[in-house]
Structures are given as structure tokens and as C-alpha cells.
Chain A
Amino acid sequence: MSPDVLWRYLPSLAFGFGVTVFCWSVGGALGMALGFAIALLRRLPVPPLRWALRAFIEAFRGTPFLVQLFLLYAAGPSIGLRLSATAAGILGLGLYSSAYFAEIFRAGLASVPAGQIEAATSVGMTKFDTLVRVELPAALIAAVPSIVNMLIVLSKETVVLSIITVPELMYQMQTMAAETFTAFDAIFAMAAFYWILVEAVSRLGSRVEGRVTAYLASGGERA
């Protein structure tokens, strides 16, 4: 262990951590939004649309993230899609995770008892109101632990972005390890940074769960 090396490289490591958090949070938000849209669209009674969405999910869930990223970044320009490394990384994270999030949201929405939706319809709530005020809070009870799982998996998946030269934490660590021959310190620091990230997401997830439970217990009076 050589703390002075870590200290010297702290600015670049902190910058890398910032890039990691940025790519992960924007990519994760994109994935969640896209996944939620897919879960809703899959409920429409249009068979071709359903098949297409199912194929999308299986394609992005069944192939490794690295392959998808290479296709987006290296093969993208040949179909006119020119992205910077960071943009390709964020878009890749979003597309990849959206397939998983779509399944999580679908399961969550399916867990809402049919009687609740019928009751909402019979008291005259619009479809949108039913979705936002009845289905979504109840669906989140089942979905939040899985969403947190996926966000954690995604945070670890961001190390792959270093391969297409996004200057994130892994990239900075490898630079440090190569310049100072301190592989052990690099891995140790990596684990510490990621553990902080994972612990923060877990805490956030518990808070969201608490809020949703309180919302449901209060009969949905306070949003």
C-alpha cells in the first residue's frame, strides 16, 4: 500500500468517479424511462408491436453489454450514427438497462390486484389518474428492490465504458496502475469507490420504499 500515490492521483480519481456517476445516473434514468415506456406499450392490444418489443428486450438482454457498446461506438458511424465515446456510453447503458427495467416494471404492474383498477374505474378516475395514483404506487412496492438491484448491476457495468475510452473511474485507475505500478492500491481504491456508490443507492432505495409504503398506508392522501 502506498497512500502517497493514492493522494497524488486523487484529483484524477475523483474526476473519474464523477464521470462514472454521471454516465451511470443519466444512463440509468434513460433506461428507466425507456423501460417504463416499453412496459406500458406492451399492454396495448397490437400484436406486431408486442412482438417487436419482445424482440427488443430479448436482443438487449441476451447479448453482452460490451458487444452492444462496440456496435454502437464502432459500427455506428457506418450507418451515420457518430457519437462521442461518452455519449455512446450513456446511450448504450440506457438501451441495455431498458430491457431489464421493462421486465421489472411489467412484473410490478402485473402485481397490482385487478380489483383496485376496477374500483378506480368505477369511481370515475381517468386511465391516466388510475395509472399514476393507483397502479404506479402499488407497482413500486414490488419493483423498487428489483430497480435498486438493476441500478447496482448497472453501476458495475460502467467499468466497460473504459474500453471505449470514456475517462471514468476504471480508466483513471488503470492509468494510475500503469504509471506507478500500484495495481493492488488501484483495485482497493476501486472497490472502496464502488462500495460507496452501491451503499448510497441502497439507502436511497430504502427511503423510496418507505415513502411509497407511507403513501399507500395514508390511503394516497399525500403525494
Chain B
Amino acid sequence: MKPEAILHSFGYLTQAAGVTVAVSLAGIVIGFVIGALICAARLSRRAWLRRLGGAYVSIFRGVPLLVQLLFIYYFLAEFGLDVPAIVAAVGGLALSSSAYQAEILRGAFNAVPRGQAEAAVALGFNGLEIWRRILLPQALRISIPPLINEFILLLKASSLVSVVGIAELTRVSMNIASLTYRPLEAYLGGGLFYLAINLTLAGFGALAERRLAAGEAR
């Protein structure tokens, strides 16, 4: 064990951690937007929208992320659609994550007591206001812990985007390991970066939970 080996490659690892964070963050945000739309479709009164949402979740949750990434990057090119690596990486993460996020949000919306929406109607709120001011804040508060679970899983799954040629944290750790013949130090260094990022995410989650709990009258 030579801890200096990590220090030598610290710059590379920091840069790679930046790539991991950027790709994951983009995947999380785009995945959340798509997930919210799919969740709305699955809670819709129209049967065909519900079925469409169900099929989307079944496909993107059922097919492994690696297969989705390879499909976007290599298969679409066969049909003349040349997708840049970074777009394939973010797109794959976002599509796969959106299916999981849609299900988390659906559970949270179902958990908001039905009487609240009825009471809001009785008080003269319109449909959009009910969603924005009554259902959404409560559903978000309920869904934060499972959403943080999902974000952490996505961050770890982002190591897969190296297959489309993105030099993220895992790939760079592998390169350092093969250049220096010090796999233990290289992977330990990479692992510590993942841990630091995930602890930060969990910290943000705890903060968001406290902030939203403050708005809850008991």
C-alpha cells in the first residue's frame, strides 16, 4: 500500500469525478422531468395514457442500462442517427432513471390523502393550483428518501457510461491502475470519490427533508 500513488493521480481523479457528477446530474434532472410526465400519465383518467405510461416503465425498468446505452450509441447509428457519446450517456441514464423516478413519484402522490384535493376543490382552487400548491409539495416531501436512493443508484450506475467512451471516474481509476500497477490504491481513490459524492447527495436529501417538513403544519 502506497498512499502517495493516490496523491499523484489526484488531479486526474478529481477531473474524472467532475465528469461523473456532470453526467449523473444531467441524467437525474432530465430523468426527473420525464419521470414526472410519465407519473402524470400513469395517474391520468385516460386509460390509453395510463397504458402508455405502464409500457414505458416496463421497458425502461426491465431492460438493463448497459443494453440501453449500447442500443442508443451503436444501434441508432445503423439507422443513420449518429448520437454523440455524451448525448448517448446522458440519454441512457435519463431514460432508465425516469422509469424508476416515475414509480417513486406515483407512490408519493397516491399517499397524499384524497380528502385534501377534495377540500381544495371545495375551497375553489383550480386544477393547476391544486397540483402546484397542495399535491406537489406533499408528494415531494414523501418521495425525497426514495428519490435520494435512486440518485445514489444512478451515480453508481454511471460507471457504465464508460462503454460509450466517456472517461468518467471508474474508467480513469482503471487507467491509473493499469498505468501504475497499483490497483488497490487506484480503486480505493476512485471509491473514496464516489463515497464523498454520495454522502453529499445524502446530505442534500436530509437538508431538503428538513426544509419541506418546516412547511408542514401539525
Contact = CB atoms under 8 A, between A and B. Distances in A.
Contact of B62 (A114, A144, A195): A195
Given A64-B156, A138-B111, A141-B111, A103 B63 contact: no
B23 interface: no
Interface residues of A, number: 36
A153 B58 CA distance: 13
Contacts of B110: 141-142
Contacts, number: 94
B95 interface: no
Given A111-B108, A142-B110, A64 B191 contact: yes
Contacts of A195: 62-63
Interface in B57-90: 57-58, 61-64, 67
Nearest to A63: B195
Interface residues of B, number: 34
Contact of A146 (B113, B149, B156, B195): B149
A194 B153 CA distance: 19
Given A62-B195, A62-B202, A149-B103, A107 B62 contact: no
A107 B194 contact: no
A198 B142 contact: no
Contact of A199 (B58, B111, B148, B202): B58
B197 to A, nearest CB: 9
Contact of A142 (B107, B153, B191): B107
The 10 lowest CB-CB distance pairs between A and B, nearest first, are A142-B111, A145-B107, A107-B145, A145-B103, A62-B198, A146-B146, A103-B145, A111-B142, A198-B62, A111-B111
Interface of B: 57-58, 61-64, 67, 100, 103-104, 106-108, 110-111, 113, 142-146, 148-150, 152-153, 156, 191, 194-195, 198-199, 202, 218
